[in-house]
Amino acid sequence: MKKYYISSVRGQSGICKYSGDFYALVLKQKGYVLTDSSENLLSLFETILPADHVHIEIGIFQTKEIGILMAMLDSGYKNIAVTLHDAPLLKYPFHTFSNPFLNKLSKFYDIYINQFTSAAPYLKKIKRIYVLSLKALVLMQSRYQLDNIHFLPHVIDTAEINHSDTANNNFIYLGFIGRNKGIEYALQLHQQLLNIYPDSQFYVVGKAIGKEQEFLHQLMKKYTVNVHFTGYVADEVLDEMFGQATFSLLPFKAYKFFMPFSGSILYNLKKGKIVFTCNTNAVGEIVSEGKTGFFLTGIITEDVDTIAGVMRDKAMQCGIKKSVTGFLMHNHAASVVSSYLQEV
């Protein structure tokens, strides 16, 4: 029996970047062979046998990986493990249509009538289902009453942890640009902070997809003072950009139907940034108030005061960075993650 890891490590999504680290730092040492999910399905079935061990990364937008998973389960593959990035959703909607109206009806059916139970027969066939937060674990267990669901900490490359000696008044945002990401509130906060720190710069790194492109154009017209919309940037340029900022503004909004884990917050912590975010979704498992970051309230006057206070306190900033390094090493190093991963 052989071991195969099915994912894509070449895209720009958070899951692709996670997959690259997870394979290089954890699965490769366990003997897994990286298999790109863009491969032809017939080719995969010729290479991977039903008795082989398979690990697949699954997110609701990973349509190729979802198709591979379902085809394998329908074909009797028994030794499959998945990491479910958007628990409790396997796919959303479960039944997809090319017609947008029918797709909306399908989502309504999933949420209010079906309660996502279409996914249950497939989830039962999976040998091990891993989720990246304890909140997602509880949510999955309460919804599906399955005993094949396990917690797996998000892995980071600890060699890339940067204590960062940067000491300026600049901010960075990293992620997709969309209304549900809280980016406009971050921009509003920065505009208010310019009254206190007029030299402060804000680097907005990321791109918008589909309808959100118009939203991005609106932001670019509205927020022009000391704001730099960079779009997507390559990793080597990104490192340079992170070196120009001391703080991260990541005021995520709560998701209604699934419990995502924020790899972007972990990335900012790894890069030595002081993170300001919101206590939503599973963020509370990464950020501890005053120890590994700070929570925003959504009340702009209070949040400006909080951020300005931290910006003034250089000693506090040094303490936070030291605390973050210990937290990352203790919870997200490859050796820690590997200990949670059970052989199928």
pLDDT per position as a tens digit, 128-166: 999 999 999 999 998 899 999 999 999 999 999 987 777
Say yes or no: 130 and 172 in one domain. no
Say yes or no: 110 and 243 in one domain. no
What is the Cα–Cα distance from 206 to 110, expressed in whole angstroms?
Answer: 31
- What percentage of the chain exceeds 70 in pLDDT? 98
CB atoms within 10 A of CB 328: 20
The pLDDT assigned to 209 comes to 83
Among 279-283, 305-309, 330-334, which stretch is predicted with the lowest mean pLDDT? 279-283
Say yes or no: 135 and 18 in one domain. yes
Mode of pairing for the β-strands spanning 247-250 and 274-277: parallel
Residue in the block written with tokens 């990401």: 181
- Which token pair is 266? 């972990």
- First-to-last alpha carbon distance for the chain, in angstroms, is 11
Residues 92-105: tens digit of each pLDDT: 888 888 888 888 88
Which CATH number is 290's domain given?
3.40.50.2000
Query: In whole numbers, what is the pLDDT of the chain averaged over residues?
Result: 90
Is 240:228 a contact under the CB 8 Å cutoff? no
Band (pLDDT 50/70/90 cuts) for residue 344 is low
CA gyration radius, the chain: 21
- Which token pair is 318? 């040094």
DSSP classification of residue 224: -
Say yes or no: 224 and 138 in one domain. no
Is 237:262 a contact under the CB 8 Å cutoff? no
pTM above 0.75, yes or no: yes
Last residue of a domain, one of 131, 152, 173: 152
Backbone phi and psi for residue 208, each to the nearest 5 degrees, phi listed first:
-105, 150
- How many folded domains does the chain comprise? 2
- Residue 84: give the domain boundaries: 3-152
Q: What is the mean pLDDT of residues 237-244?
A: 88
Say yes or no: 265 and 317 in one domain. yes
What is the Cα–Cα distance from 125 to 70, expressed in whole angstroms?
Answer: 10
Taking alpha carbons only, the member of 80, 102, 101 closest to residue 90 is: 80
Strand stretches in 33-110, DSSP E: 33-36, 53-58, 80-84
| Residue 344, domain member (yes or no) | no
The pLDDT assigned to 40 comes to 87
Say yes or no: 128 and 223 in one domain. no
**Residue 112: pLDDT above 80?**
no
Band (pLDDT 50/70/90 cuts) for residue 178 is confident
Say yes or no: 130 and 222 in one domain. no
Say yes or no: 235 and 316 in one domain. yes
What is the Cα–Cα distance from 154 to 200, expressed in whole angstroms?
Answer: 32
